[in-house]
Amino acid sequence: MLCINGNVLENVILSADPGKTLRPIHVFSRTSPAQKGIIVGLLNLEGHKTLMCGDGTNDVGSLKRADVGLAVVNNKEPTKADKEARKKLSPWPPKEKLAGKSWSDVAKIQQEHMQEYQKEMQKLQGDVQLELGDACIAAPFTYKYSSLKSVKKVIRQGRSTLTTTF
C-alpha cells in the first residue's frame, strides 16, 4: 500500500500520466481542497468508483464529484453502556400501570410516561447535537459521529440493495 501527502501529490499531478501514477496509491493525506477534487476526478476518469468522506466546507467539491459522498459529523460515538441503557428504556408504560384504568387515565399515563422517556433519552444522548454543515448538504449520506464505521455501513447497504434488486 502506498501513501502520499499533498506535497508529493503536486509532482504526481504534474507527471505525464497522472491517472496511471495514481493507481498504486491507496491513501492520500494532508491534501488541499483542490487536490481532493483532482484526486477524485482522476480516479473517476480511470473508471474507478469513488467514495469520499469529508467533514467540512473544504470537502464539498470532492463530495459532490465522488460516486458516493459521505459527510461525517464530529460527535463522540456512544459507549456500549449508553447503548444498553437506551435499550432498557421503553416508550410504552408497563402493562401493570394501565390495567383496569379508564381510557382517559390510560392516555394521561401514556403521555406522562412518554415525557419521562424523552427526558431520559435526552440525558443518555448527552451533548450530541447534529449540526448540518455544508458537507452534509453536498453529500447524499451523513453519519452523525466522527467514526468511519459508516463507510462499511454504506457499502453493506449498497451490496444488500443490489442483491435484493437482482
pLDDT at 128: 54
Segment 74-108, tens digit of pLDDT: 777 777 887 788 788 888 888 888 888 888 888 89
Q: Structural domain boundaries of the chain?
A: 2-76+129-165, 80-125
Give 28-33's long-range contacts (Cβ < 8 A, gap of 24+).
28/3, 28/4, 29/3, 29/4, 29/5, 30/5, 30/6, 31/5, 31/6, 32/6, 32/58, 33/58, 33/59, 33/61, 33/62
Residue 79 in 3-state DSSP?
Answer: coil
Residue 125 predicted with pLDDT over 80: no
Residue 6 predicted with pLDDT over 70: yes
Arithmetic mean of pLDDT, 41-47: 88
- Domain 2-76+129-165, CATH class in plain words: alpha beta
Confidence band for 146, pLDDT divided at 50, 70 and 90: confident
Q: pTM, whole model, 2 decimals? A: 0.60
